[in-house]
Amino acid sequence: MQILTSEEMGAADRRTVEESGVPLETLMGAAGRAVATFSLQRYAAATRVVVFCGRGNNGGDGLVAARVMALAGRQVRVVLLGRKDEMKGEAAGALKRLQLETSAVVVDEAVDEAGLRVCTPTLADAELFVDAVVGTGFKPPLRGTAVLLREMVERLDTPVVAVDLPSGWDADSLEQTADGSFRADAVVTFTAPKLAHVFGHLTRNDKTGGTFGPVVVAGIGSPEQAVVSNSGLTWAGASKGIAEKPRDVNSNKGKFGHVLVVGGSYGKAGAPAMASLACLRSGAGLVTAAVPKSILNTVARIAPELMMVPLAEGSKGAVSFKNLDGAKLDALMEKITVVAVGPGLSTEGDASAFARQVVEKTTVPVVIDADALNAFAGKTSLLNGRGRVMVLTPHPGEMARLAGLTVKEVEADRVGLARRFATQHKLTLVLKGWRTLVAHPDGSVAVNTSGNPAMAKGGSGDVLTGIVAAMLAQFPGDVVRAVETAVYLHGLAGDFAASAMDEHTVLATDTVTHLSDAFRYRVTDGDGLTWIGGLRG
């Protein structure tokens, strides 16, 4: 699923109307019905609904939604931020149909502060707000009556469904938050996500304690060829389909790959253990952990299904260069499908040189994480994915060390940096953080929208490494979707864990526990809504 700018969204609508012959009225009708369908499903107990409508097409979408909900038996009031006679085009038609077909009350006094005060009892009595003031084409800031209405809504606990975007939010913003916009508990957008939908924390309600509400995309009739993005940005969750197909009944463990997890050191047995467990839980046929001999038994306790290989170690409990003798390395790599190197490895003694040699000598796909990444700080010329599959999974600190930058510089241009690094080194880069990015050698970048603050715990990166390795082992011919799926599944499992527990108490291993929920989850529901954020209730 492509991610669009505001201009590209407008162009998609124009192509749909002018080249495909779909009337704008039809698009507006589909958009409004999608908002109503979502609202009726998500807030089924809300009988009194107030819809805020501007004078443009976003307001028209809201008027259609108001009509559909009124016909479904809801008590609907519409607050117009303008006069009825100021409505034009398709929005005017939507208003006319609403008044002809329903008993919904339309209030158009809300053109100034005095008019809004008249609406105060209506707002206080509502059980659901629908925000259709301004949409994708709007450029902030809000002014006049819209600001006053926003302030009134802020003082109430009533849930808000935003049509297209929370009014006042710039669709092209890459920022996590936007001062001066309406709050929203849920967002329904159309055709494709815009930049703000994937980079912004759009759904929040500090009064009710909500953290991540739903953000859904509804198809409204635009053909695929009409939707064109020049940014090279896509939504990572769209790749999950490869993990939703049932396995062939004539299957065996050999069909799903053999992953070798190389890592660990004295005091860091948990990292390779968690990576290995996540790899097993994500569907790899076989998983072997190669760890220093002194922690072998500790790592082995994570799961009886895990196979073990002891590694020689130095005086400080880190892996020794002795493991790289030709025959030993060949034996270690025999029949291996994917190598994941780095979890818990440390940088003591020979560990960094050992990691570089493993990456150099490995011919199968390799996932590089943690201290294996640090081993290449100042030596990134050795990272060459040309002719092979190489996946790096740095957090911002590790990325800063690799790129020779500060963390602040990394965070200032995450998309650009990830894209440049991936194309320069011909590898796949998973840059973790708020909205983890998956940058590919061809310059395309997928944005992940799953995950939450509960995952800011030690071990989360190790779990991700295991999932990435498992997906590569199972789908060696589809590296792009395998890695994007892994990143999305990891965040989604974290969302299920936080939902079942509390974000303060979730551990990395709880995320592994909820991987089955993530695999079973379908991003598109029965109403044709694609959930790019939040979980279906």
User: Using one digit for the tens of pLDDT, what is the confidence trace for 187-243?
Assistant: 999 999 999 999 999 997 554 444 589 999 999 999 999 999 999 999 999 999 999
Quick one: which of 398, 433, 259, 393 has its CA closest to 332?
259
511: number of Cβ within 10 Å: 32
Q: Are 288 and 258 in contact (CB under 8 A)?
A: yes
Cα–Cα distance, 451 to 311 (Å, whole number): 34
**DSSP annotation of 84:** G
Domain boundaries for CATH 3.40.50.10260 within the chain: 6-229
CB 213 within 8 Å of CB 203: yes
Task: Assign domain 238-245+252-533 to its CATH superfamily.
Answer: Ribokinase (3.40.1190.20)
Mean pLDDT over the full length of the chain: 95
Return the half-sphere exposure (C-beta side, CA atoms, 13 A cut-off) of residue 31: 30
- Beta-strand ranges (E) seen in 393-471 are 428-431, 437-439, 445-447
CB 462 within 8 Å of CB 268: no
The pair of structure tokens assigned to 206 is 């500090």
DSSP string, 453-478: GGG-STTHHHHHHHHHHHHHHH-TT-
Tokens representing 76? 């609907």
218: tokens are 């509804």
pLDDT in tens, the chain (537 residues): 999 999 999 999 999 999 999 999 999 999 999 999 999 999 999 999 999 999 999 999 999 999 999 999 999 999 999 899 989 999 999 999 999 999 999 998 778 888 888 889 999 999 999 999 999 999 999 999 999 999 999 999 999 999 999 999 999 999 999 999 999 999 999 999 999 999 999 997 554 444 589 999 999 999 999 999 999 999 999 999 999 989 999 999 999 999 999 999 999 999 999 999 999 999 999 999 999 999 999 999 999 999 999 999 988 889 987 877 767 777 788 899 999 999 999 999 999 999 999 999 999 999 999 999 999 999 999 999 999 999 999 999 999 999 999 999 999 999 999 999 999 999 999 999 999 999 999 999 999 999 999 999 999 999 999 999 999 999 999 999 999 999 999 999 999 999 999 889 999 999 999 999 999 999 999 999 999 999 987
The position carrying tokens 């009739």 is: 221
Domain 6-229 fold is Rossmann fold (3.40.50)
Domain ranges in the chain with CATH number 3.40.1190.20? 238-245+252-533
